[in-house]
Chain A
Amino acid sequence: MSPRLLLLAFFVVARAWAGEIAPEQRRSGYEMMSRETQKIQDDDATNPGMLWVLDGEALWKRKAGAADRACADCHQSMRGVAARYPAFDPARGRPVTLEQRINSCRVDHQKAPPLPYESKELLALSAYVARQSRGLPIEPKIEARTKPFLDSGREAFHRRQGQLNLSCSQCHDDNWGKKLAGSVIPQAHPTGYPIYRLEWQNLGSLGRRLRNCVFGIRAQVPELGSDELVDLELYLMWRARGMKIEAPGVRP
């Protein structure tokens, strides 16, 4: 191999590796927060997210819509479900988030109106479902039909955008562990969603968190549930594959 070709090969490999965090170096945001905040999350008696989980459990068993059916009438255990989302929905021809899946189930099977994004009810139901996957590894199913959406999410993650001209990757791949305005930059693994964020004083979805970050780099903020956000969520879940679900997480 000529030296020039060797150099070219080196650059190709280096480019593929650039930024990606090695699997053994991945850390949940949990490990980067204070011991006090960790303790709030660890104990169900102090984790405020449990209030939504309990509300979600009540909603799960309540009959709703024209079909007069409850989620519990069809579904038994939802263990492991949250670990697989966003998942491909053949009806829409693209991956959907857990929140979107709950809503399409409401519309199609319960004949009830969809719940608005970030509404207390939708957060409660998704928290109840996600809680059942606590401790299980994240494993989104990547196949031929989901691959283009994963690639689009990866592209969004690495694309510089906004007035600050930053990509997600510049903070969360290249500079994690350092500080931004006094707060530790995490690696952005969506292990605990929906999370109770102390700053929000409320439970919120991954979509809300992503919008926060996009607003922070002064870029055009995508709508909740938009294709762009869902693709990014899919990439983030794939990027965190194998890490354990902590839902409902508590974050500063």
Chain B
Amino acid sequence: MARAVVTVPPRAKRGEIVEIKTLAQHAMETGFRRTQTGELIPRDIIRSFSCSYNGVEVCRVELHPAIAANPLIAFTTVATESGTLQFRWVGDNGYTVTEIAPIKVE
């Protein structure tokens, strides 16, 4: 199960600054830990996150091994027009999650 939750205000005024919160379910295994028998646990992290607003990228994040599990990424953008926000997380071992959220600007 690879789950992500995004929270976008469903409606906003034109020009308003809106806060967007995203939460992705991921263990963010650093690649530095070892098992009790001394074997290295291979790295398994989310490497990048991006959000595009009607096709225009408004946020991009690079993630590294020191970032906590289930990373919460919150950012703001300016509500320009009605449409959709597309979110994409990409990580090790073929991890890809895409979420879409609509926004209504009036």
Contact = CB atoms under 8 A, between A and B. Distances in A.
Given A54-B5, A55-B1, A46 B70 contact: no
A201 B72 contact: no
Given A50-B23, A51-B23, A45 B5 contact: yes
Contacts of A207: none
Contacts of A194: none
B69 A201 contact: yes
Nearest to B68: A201
B60 interface: no
A123 to B, nearest CB: 12
Nearest to B22: A45
Interface size range of chain B in the complex: 10 to 19
Contacts of A46: 21, 23, 72, 74
A120 B2 CA distance: 12
Contacts of A43: 21
**Chain A: interface size category:** 10 to 19
A99 B25 CA distance: 22
A118 B23 CA distance: 22
A115 B5 CA distance: 25
25 contacts: A45-B5, A45-B7, A45-B21, A45-B23, A46-B21, A46-B23, A46-B72, A48-B25, A48-B69, A50-B23, A51-B3, A51-B5, A51-B23, A51-B25, A54-B3, A55-B1, A55-B3, A55-B25, A58-B1, A120-B1, A201-B28, A201-B68, A201-B69, A201-B70, A202-B69
The 3 closest A-B pairs by CB, nearest first: A45-B7, A201-B69, A48-B70
